[in-house]
Structure 1
């Protein structure tokens, strides 16, 4: 029995595309280097295609899928990238066609057994499946404390997938043998409105309504002047397996 698609992002696909960070180029390059070839990559749960566009620098063809038509509509076209509205649990690619399967900020929303079956069907011998994401993030002691108050407020409303990501994908089930990646992080020079947009893009904030952020954003305005850039660090979590 398939698990119905729980649509958490279609209603704010444009905000998601504008607010979410991209992965460091070396993270995508390190994963691509593990693949047995550079023919075909599948970016499952592509969202607006951030990781797919990075993969295009390393593979002849990138098939980027998402079950949300709105997310795919917000995706930026790129050479070698083909977008399609498909769930990660049922991909239209043929058997043994992929050198790499990537799920970027997405694997925690998949039905694990069905996705694992597709991974096993689609990967070539020695092929790589990688799940990467970013969970907790840091600015400085003052900002972290303010945002931490919001996190405590919304935690009871998180989906189980949120906890899978926050736990560093340790419980994620993937076929094959694990391969370790060098630890990495996303480093950003953001102004306060960029942090606010990122927080508004959270599925739990959209679920509860953006008013849930009012007190937090008011406190941030007191602590963080307009036009000031601060260093935002998002550690990259990863699970990589070779079939």
Structure 2
């Protein structure tokens, strides 16, 4: 079977690294707590290495892999992180050597019939696997302009670029509950991502969406143009910093 994959992000890997929300310490506290050791972590589908860097602050060594060479090229360096271009189902890690496998916002892209056996192969007995995702963000209700901004964001997500989302997006909508997870599941806490962004940073993030990129490629136009005026009006001053939130469903299991 081929290890080819649909690469939705290499064409804008630099922007992807610049305009992505970061993960809170609470998330990494939750996924490392069940681990019996943290000698070696495998961060699969690492993208720009954001999760790998956070894990390196807790683990002795992190191997971070991604099938996209362009993503690895733009990954963040760290002394305890080794980056490799490799598909999720075929990684050069010895059997029974990994304490924790992590997949951040990437599980829906994997061939799970091949990835899960690979994860089991590299994990030590009793090793932990943690996967998480995040979907549409919002301005919390405490913000006076939330009722104006959130409908514009949802219209962009559902109507403007909605037809351009790949079918795997449905698994993000269910918080990965629609995907098999053949491990002894551990109860996971509710986690939320938070960022304080200006309008420009928010728009930069919207442009990194795979659906935004497909819209641009197919229609040779910027999808932001369809909401730009309404979003600017709702946001107010462009340099106004607003708090944005993403629910981040988390699943943790043990071999």
Which structure 2 residues correspond to residues 1-243 of structure 1 after superposition, within 5 A? 1-2=1-2, 4-139=4-139, 140-153=146-159, 154-209=161-216, 211-224=222-235, 225-243=237-255
- CA 1:2 to 1:117, structure 2 compared with 1: closer, same or farther past 3 Å? farther
Deviations 1:154-184 (A, max 9, x none): 2222112211012111012223111121101
Q: How many residues align?
A: 243
Deviations 1:32-60 (A, max 9, x none): 12112111000000000000000001111
Aligned mates of 2:79, 2:33 — CA distance in 1: 20
Aligned mates of 1:228, 1:206 — CA distance in 2: 26
Where structure 2 has 5 or more consecutive residues not aligned to the other structure, the ranges are 140-145
Shift of 1:218: 2.1
Aligned mates of 2:4, 2:85 — CA distance in 1: 15
Give secondary structure in 2 for the equivalent of 1:135: coil
Where structure 1 has 5 or more consecutive residues not aligned to the other structure, the ranges are none
Aligned mates of 2:132, 2:113 — CA distance in 1: 18
Give TM-score scaled by structure 2 length: 0.92
Give TM-score scaled by structure 1 length: 0.96
Shift of 1:3: 5.7
RMSD of Structure 2 on Structure 1 (CA):
1.2
